[in-house]
C-alpha cells in the first residue's frame, strides 16, 4: 500500500529573502530527482515555482511543507538518504529552518490512487503529536519496539 509523507519546517527568513536563496535554488533539482526516483508517486506542487513553498500548515505562515506519496517506506528512505543533493540539504537545513521542538514529519499509508490533501496531512501530523507513533501514523525515522519499521507490513 502506498505511503504518504509530510515534512514541515518553520522557515527562519521570508521565502524571497537572500538568506533563503540557496535553499530555493536547489528545490527544482532535488524535486526532479525525487520525481525520477524508484517508488515515487506524487508530490504537492506550487502552481509556479519549483516546490510547494506557497502552501502552509496549521495556520502558520512560516511553516513550509512538503507532501509526497511513495510506493512504500523503503522507497522514500532510499531517496532521502541516497540522493546526494537531498542529503546535503538535510545537513544544512538549520541555515533555513528552525530546530523543531515537536514532530514535524509524519508518514501514513494511503489507498492505491489516493492523493492526500493538505488538510489530511495536517490531521495526521496532529494525530502523531497527540497519540505518538504507532502502526498507523509515525515519523520518518520511527522504528517499532521489535526493531522494524513503524509501518504495517507492506508499507
71 CB burial (10 A radius; 0-12, 13-18, 19+): middle
Q: What is the per-residue pLDDT across 5-48, written as a single tens digit (0 to 9) for each? A: 999 999 999 989 999 999 999 988 999 999 999 999 999 998 77
In this structure, are strands 56-57 and 60-70 parallel, antiparallel, or unpaired?
A: antiparallel
pTM for this prediction: 0.87
pLDDT confidence tier of residue 61, bands split at 50, 70 and 90: confident
Please report, for residues 33, 69, 108, 118, 127, the alpha-carbon distance to residue 24 in angstroms, rounded to integers and kept in the order given: 15, 22, 27, 21, 30
Contacts of 9 (CB under 8 A, 6+ apart): 63, 64, 93, 96, 97, 98, 100, 104
With cut-offs at 50, 70 and 90, classify the pLDDT of residue 143.
low
How far, in Å, CA of 67 to CA of 106, rounded? 10
Interval 92-140: pLDDT, tens: 999 999 999 999 999 999 999 999 999 999 999 999 999 999 999 999 8
Amino acid at each position: 500500500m502506498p505511503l504518504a509523507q509530510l515534512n514541515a519546517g518553520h522557515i527562519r527568513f521570508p521565502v524571497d529573502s537572500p538568506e533563503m536563496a540557496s535553499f530555493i535554488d536547489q528545490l527544482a533539482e532535488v524535486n526532479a530527482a525525487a520525481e525520477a526516483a524508484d517508488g515515487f508517486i506524487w508530490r504537492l506542487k506550487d502552481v509556479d515555482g519549483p516546490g510547494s513553498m506557497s502552501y502552509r500548515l496549521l495556520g502558520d505562515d512560516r511553516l513550509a511543507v512538503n507532501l509526497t506519496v511513495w510506493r512504500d517506506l523503503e522507497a522514500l528512505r532510499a531517496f532521502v538518504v541516497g540522493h546526494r543533493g537531498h542529503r546535503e540539504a538535510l545537513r544544512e537545513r538549520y541555515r533555513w529552518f528552525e530546530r523543531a521542538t515537536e514532530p514535524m514529519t509524519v508518514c501514513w499509508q494511503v489507498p492505491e490512487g489516493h492523493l492526500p490533501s493538505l488538510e489530511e496531512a495536517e490531521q495526521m501530523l496532529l494525530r502523531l503529536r497527540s497519540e505518538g507513533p504507532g502502526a498507523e501514523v509515525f515519523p520518518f525515522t520511527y522504528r517499532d519496539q521489535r526493531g522494524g519499521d513503524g509501518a504495517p507490513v507492506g508499507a
